[in-house]
Amino acid sequence: MQQLVILGATGTIGRNTLDVASRHPQKIQVVGVSANRDDAGLFAICQEHRVGWAAMADEAAAQRLQLRLREAGLPTKVLSGAQGLCELAALPEATTVMAAVVGAAGLLPTLAAVEAHKRVLLATKEALVMSGQVFMDALRNSRAELLPIDSEHNAIFQCLPPGSHCGQTPRGVRRLILTASGGPFRTLPMEAFATVTPAQAVAHPNWTMGQKISVDSATMMNKGLELIEAARLFDLPSARIDVLLHPQSVIHSLVEYDDASFLAQIGSPDMRIPIAHAMAWPERFESGAASVDLAEVARMDFEAADLARFPCLRLARESLEAGGTAPAVLNAANEVAVEAFLHEQAAFLDIAACVESTLEAMDSAGLAQPNCIESVLAADAWARAHAAQHLGVSHA
């Protein structure tokens, strides 16, 4: 039986993971869960699933959770802070860790799971984007197993030759094609971008996601981060990874082989499909997702991504090709800008402008090469401070 820890249990991925796990009680036991500040949400999960361990990034929230558990007579042990999340990720009894903490906060606990030799189900793309080679080196030096959860990377993984593993260049593959819905602004007149509101940006046409990833989808930074992640996961250069808009979100990605044949993974836009695939791999089991009715879909459209409309995608590819600390700087500046936008402290167009400004200032910052986790975190901290200064917002 798999002993499962879910990092980010109160988020969209976390709740979908709990749903899939609950369908297979003879195969999966949830032994640990974490959240950032939502102690009420995590308490409800602890109560329903009777988990042995819980961790909260926020110290005050951890104290509130401890009190709730004590009053309910539940024996769940509570950990707190960044160290608590890392301890939970490396829990000795855990065999599998779902890494679904949003943003840079997920890096250290995901690395802790890798270093503890777990099967890591990777939904925290920022961990790979930020740390790149450091992360992949840790994976190669560990007995850990990495399986991708992002629908696009999971689709690619499903289409690769048998015996393929993350971190290894797949045999006979010419290129990877990541598909993107284009988000809510695929056809919006570009002159309207100046007045886009957070409510408009988070209203994704196909997927139900958290606020940050929804904004990233609207700017297509999400696809840019996935581009960088794909290069790390499948050990391929930028030139062999393409992005196509596919508004129906039925084909989740494609693999083109050297003989010019394509393999594609098709499924409904439901994150329980890649979650169930990774949890059951190399077998299959029921996910709870509905099947795609191809007759109802009727058509599948594809178009090239417009980089003038979506400059964040261009910036992400440039960062991948620049290497070094550029991906970490890109990610950090974007997180600051998106947070400012969601709090109405910045305009929608400020997001790409802030990221570009931060990347341009990087060369004069004297950042060290990202050959250890400390240098990655230093680049992240510098980029956050620069981005906050650019936007004129406070930086914690």
Task: Classify residue 52: in a domain, yes or no.
Answer: yes
- The band of 370, judged by pLDDT with boundaries at 50, 70 and 90, is confident
Please state, rounded to an integer, the average pLDDT across all residues of the chain. Answer: 94
Q: Which residue has the higher pLDDT, 396 or 281?
A: 281
Task: Classify residue 209: in a domain, yes or no.
Answer: no
pLDDT for position 351: 97
On the question of pLDDT at 396 being above 80, the answer is no
Q: Is 2 left (phi over 0), alpha (psi -120 to 50) or beta?
A: beta
CA 374/CA 379 separation, integer angstroms: 9
Number of structural domains in the chain: 1
Task: Classify residue 307: in a domain, yes or no.
Answer: no
Task: Classify residue 359: in a domain, yes or no.
Answer: no
CA 192/CA 52 separation, integer angstroms: 50
Q: What is the mean pLDDT of residues 63-92?
A: 96
CA 284/CA 266 separation, integer angstroms: 15
Burial class of residue 39 (count of CB atoms within 10 Å of its CB; 0-12, 13-18, 19+): buried
Q: Which residues are annotated as a binding site?
A: 10-11, 13, 37, 125-126, 150-152, 181, 204, 210, 217, 222-223, 226
Domain that includes residue 27, residue range = 2-148
CA 184/CA 217 separation, integer angstroms: 8
Q: What is the mean pLDDT of residues 119-145?
A: 92
Q: How much is the CA Rg of the chain, to the nearest whole Å?
A: 20
Task: Classify residue 211: in a domain, yes or no.
Answer: no
Q: Which residues are annotated as a binding site for 1-deoxy-D-xylulose 5-phosphate?
A: 125, 151-152, 181, 204, 217, 222-223, 226
Q: What is the phi/psi pair of residue 70, to 5°? A: -65, -45
Task: Classify residue 244: in a domain, yes or no.
Answer: no
Tell me the pLDDT tens digit for each residue of 98-118.
999 988 889 999 999 999 999
Q: Which residues are annotated as a binding site for NADPH?
A: 10-11, 13, 37, 126, 210
pLDDT for position 22: 97
Residue 375 in tokens? 């240098």
Give 179's DSSP letter: E
On the question of pLDDT at 208 being above 70, the answer is no
Which pTM does this prediction carry? 0.93
Edge-to-edge order in the sheet of strand 251-257: 262-266, 251-257, 173-180, 241-245, 303-304
CATH code, domain with 108: 3.40.50.720
- The band of 210, judged by pLDDT with boundaries at 50, 70 and 90, is confident
- The band of 207, judged by pLDDT with boundaries at 50, 70 and 90, is low
On the question of pLDDT at 145 being above 90, the answer is yes
Task: Classify residue 14: in a domain, yes or no.
Answer: yes
pLDDT for position 304: 95
Tell me the pLDDT tens digit for each residue of 160-181.
998 888 988 999 999 999 999 9
Tell me the pLDDT tens digit for each residue of 343-353.
999 999 999 99
Given the structure tokens 């690769």, which residue do they identify?
Answer: 160
Tell me the pLDDT tens digit for each residue of 304-320.
999 999 999 999 999 99
Q: Which residues are annotated as a binding site for Mn(2+)?
A: 150, 152, 226
Task: Classify residue 162: in a domain, yes or no.
Answer: no
Q: How many other C-beta atoms can be found within 10 angstroms of the C-beta atom of residue 195?
A: 10
